[in-house]
Amino acid sequence: MSYFLFKTCRKCSLALIFMLFLQFTQAQNDFTQLNAILKKNEKTFGKEYVVVVNKAGKNIFLKESEEFKLKIPAPIGNSSKWLTVALVMIFVDEGKINLDDQVTKYLPIFEKYMKGFITIRDCLAETTGVEGDANGILKIAQKNKFESLEEEVNNYAAKRLIVDNPGTHFSYSSVGLNIAGRILEVISKKTFDRIAQEKLFRPLGMKTATFYSESGGVNPSGGATCSAFDYINFMQMIMNKGVINNKKVLSENAISEMLKNQFPDAKKRSSPELVAGFTYGMGCWIEEENANGTPNIISAPGFTGTWPWIDFSKKYAAIIFEKNTLTPQRKDLYKQIKNSIEEGVN
């Protein structure tokens, strides 16, 4: 009789433990609403999209479509800027450049054309004052007419007007990040895409990531290709204050600078409608701040269908990776997905 009771109690205990574990797991993360949104919009997304949520180094949600998987690379448009800023900050950490260096220290042609007051900080914060691209973010979908980054940046110096004093106006374009990328080429005597491989992508294990382009000069502002898996690796490093897999890639100070609005009083000359209401750090947008003024949520929309973000308050990184142009109408769907993830992560 006692054996029977022991056996029965043991079964009950195991069942209870399992139910408690299941309840705990569901309490931790609930993506029911997210799955419903993705199911409802299957036709809108088509066959090429990935949604992934990563917390503590583990993918707690992953949705892959029929023809597009987590580790398949694709162009990421202006999400490239965040990568480029991180690369520049590696050189700052190494003492090879300073954020407040004037670009003329490395690119004398800017002095020749009366653009001598632009700093590297201006370049990363999009406050160079140099006339931006006439067609804005659409440039990322077009073939680069320049054969090298050097040729393009020299064109900025010689042909583009200075429309504002550096540091006074924010203008979202390819100008600043491409100038910064060219400075790295001058210092390293290597092409930008090779520098990115050696200094950033290999240390982060970003095996599919590249800035190499067969269609023209390399574009630090919008020319990267990588997979959702690789970009998550990059964001893990940001969340871990510059460290990934016990390897230090960036200093805590460098991460702090990247996430700080460098010129809070700068007026906006041009800014994408998709990010209305956000402020800008360096290469990334600040969507939400806490009471202390530090970022809660940061993101780097690529406008080609890539929207990566980090939620520091809930300690997760996520990315919507899609092969479609991110229109204002599509932004509403992305916001629904993002909101459902925020509600599902605990």
What does the alpha-carbon distance between residue 185 and residue 188 come to, in Å, rounded to a whole number?
5
Domain ranges for the chain, please list them: 31-344
- The 3-class SS string of 45-70 reads HCCCEEEEEEECCEEEEEEECCCCCC
Note the pTM of the prediction, 2 decimals: 0.90
Q: How far apart are CA 170 and CA 88, in angstroms?
A: 20
21 vs 98: CA distance, rounded Å: 51
Q: Are 225 and 215 contacting, i.e. CB atoms less than 8 angstroms apart?
A: no
The pLDDT score that the predictor gives to residue 244 is 94
* Helix 228-239 × helix 80-93 angle, to 10°: 40
pLDDT at 145: 82
Residue 325 has pLDDT above 90, yes or no: no
Question: Which DSSP letter does residue 131 get?
Answer: -
pLDDT at 135: 52
Instruction: Indicate whether 54 pLDDT > 80.
Output: yes
What tens digit of pLDDT does each residue of 216-268 get?
A: 789 999 999 999 999 999 999 999 999 999 999 999 999 999 999 999 999 99
Structure tokens at 135: 């067609």
Write the pLDDT tens digit of every residue in 275-312.
989 999 999 999 999 988 899 999 999 888 899 999 99
How many C-beta neighbours within 10 Å does residue 153 have? 26
pLDDT level of residue 47 (50, 70, 90 thresholds): confident
Bridge partner list, 119: 102
Rounded Cα distance between 73 and 153, Å, is: 27
82's tokens: 């965040």
SS3 letters across 88-108: HHHHHHCCCCCCCCEHHHCCC
Helix (H) or strand (E) holding 12: helix 2-28
Write the DSSP assignment of 152-203 as a string of letters: HHHHHHHHS-B-S-TTTEEE-SSHHHHHHHHHHHHHHTS-HHHHHIIIIIHH
| pLDDT at residue number 332 | 87
The count of other CB atoms within 10 Å of the CB of residue 173 is: 23
Mean pLDDT of the chain: 89
Question: What is the rounded distance in angstroms from the CA atom of residue 185 to the CA atom of residue 81?
Answer: 16
| CA atoms of 258 and 86, how far apart (whole Å) | 8
CATH classification (class only), 31-344: alpha beta
Q: What share of the chain is helix, strand, coil (3-state, %, to 5)?
A: 45, 20, 40
List the structure tokens of 121: 């900080």
> 121-177, pLDDT tens digit by residue?
999 999 999 999 865 544 444 456 899 999 999 999 999 999 999 999 999 999 999
Cα–Cα distance between 133 and 174 in angstroms, integer? Answer: 7
